[in-house]
Chain A
Amino acid sequence: MADNTPAGSTTDGAITVGQPADARVSAAPSYDVADFPVPHGREEEWRFTPLERLRGLHDGTAEATGGLRVEVTAPDGVTVQTVDRTDPRVGRAGKPVDRVAAQAYSSFEKASVVSIPKEAILTEPVRIAVHGEGGTVYGHQVVEIGAFAEAVVVIEHTGDTTMAANVEYLVGDGAKLTVVSVQDWDDTAVHAAQHTALIGRDATFKSVVVTLGGDLVRLHPRVVYGAPGGEAELYGLYFTDEGQHQEHRLFIDHDTPHCRSNVAYKGALQGQDAHAVWIGDVLIRAAAEGTDTYELNRNLVLTDGARVDSVPNLEIETGEIVGAGHASATGRFDDEQLFYLQSRGMRADDARRLVVRGFFGELVQQIGLADLEERLMAKIDAELEASVG
Chain B
Amino acid sequence: MATLEINDLHVTVEADNATKEILRGVDLTVKQGETHAIMGPNGSGKSTLAYSLAGHPKYTVTGGTVTLDGEDVLAMTVDERARAGLFLAMQYPVEVPGVSVSNFLRTSATAIRGEAPKLRTWVKEVREAMERLSMDPAFAERNVNEGFSGGEKKRHEILQLELLKPHIAILDETDSGLDVDALRVVSEGVNRVREGGDVGTLLITHYTRILRYIKPDFVHVFAAGRIAESGGAELADKLEEEGYESYVKGGASA
Chain A interface (Cβ within 8 Å of chain B)? 300, 331, 334-337, 339-348, 350-351, 354-355, 358-362
Nearest Cβ in chain B — how far from A100, in angstroms?
A: 34
Asked if B221 CB lies within 8 Å of chain A CBs, one says no
Asked if B54 CB lies within 8 Å of chain A CBs, one says yes
Asked if B202 CB lies within 8 Å of chain A CBs, one says no
Say which residue of B54, B90, B94, B103 sits within 8 Å of A354 (CB atoms). Answer: B103
Cα A362 to Cα B103 in complex, Å, equals 13
Note all chain B residues with C-beta closer than 8 A to A346: 79, 107-108, 111
Q: Report 8 cross-chain contacts, Cβ distance below 8 Å, ordered by A residue.
A: A337-B95, A340-B90, A340-B94, A343-B78, A347-B79, A358-B97, A358-B103, A358-B143
Note all chain B residues with C-beta closer than 8 A to A342: 55, 77-79, 82
Cα A359 to Cα B99 in complex, Å, equals 7
Cα A350 to Cα B77 in complex, Å, equals 14
Say which residue of B88, B97, B99 sits within 8 Å of A343 (CB atoms). Answer: B88
Chain B interface (Cβ within 8 Å of chain A)? 54-57, 77-79, 81-83, 87-88, 90, 93-100, 103-104, 107-108, 111-112, 143, 160, 164
Note all chain B residues with C-beta closer than 8 A to A337: 94-96
Interface secondary structure of A, over-half rule: helix
Residue pair A345, B164 in contact (C-beta under 8 Å): yes
Q: A345-B83, A345-B112 given; name 9 further pairs at CB < 8 Å.
A: A337-B96, A339-B54, A339-B55, A341-B104, A343-B79, A344-B108, A345-B82, A354-B99, A358-B98
Note all chain A residues with C-beta closer than 8 A to B96: 337, 340-341, 355, 358
Residue pair B164, A344 in contact (C-beta under 8 Å): yes
Note all chain A residues with C-beta closer than 8 A to B79: 342-343, 345-348, 351
Nearest Cβ in chain B — how far from A129, in angstroms?
A: 31
Cα A60 to Cα B54 in complex, Å, equals 60
Residue pair B99, A358 in contact (C-beta under 8 Å): yes
Note all chain A residues with C-beta closer than 8 A to B77: 342, 348
Cα A43 to Cα B64 in complex, Å, equals 61
Cα A359 to Cα B57 in complex, Å, equals 25
Counting from the closest, the 4 A-B pairs by CB-CB distance are A345-B111, A358-B98, A342-B78, A359-B98
Cα A26 to Cα B79 in complex, Å, equals 53
Residue pair B97, A359 in contact (C-beta under 8 Å): yes
Cα A314 to Cα B54 in complex, Å, equals 47
Nearest Cβ in chain B — how far from A15, in angstroms?
A: 20
Cα A39 to Cα B103 in complex, Å, equals 48
Say which residue of B81, B100, B111, B164 sits within 8 Å of A350 (CB atoms). Answer: B111
Say which residue of A335, A339, A345 sits within 8 Å of B108 (CB atoms). Answer: A345
Nearest Cβ in chain A — how far from B207, in angstroms?
A: 24
Note all chain B residues with C-beta closer than 8 A to A341: 96, 104, 108
Cα A360 to Cα B98 in complex, Å, equals 8
Cα A354 to Cα B106 in complex, Å, equals 11
Residue pair B112, A344 in contact (C-beta under 8 Å): yes
Known A342-B78, A342-B82, A354-B103: A331·B97 in contact at CB below 8 Å: yes
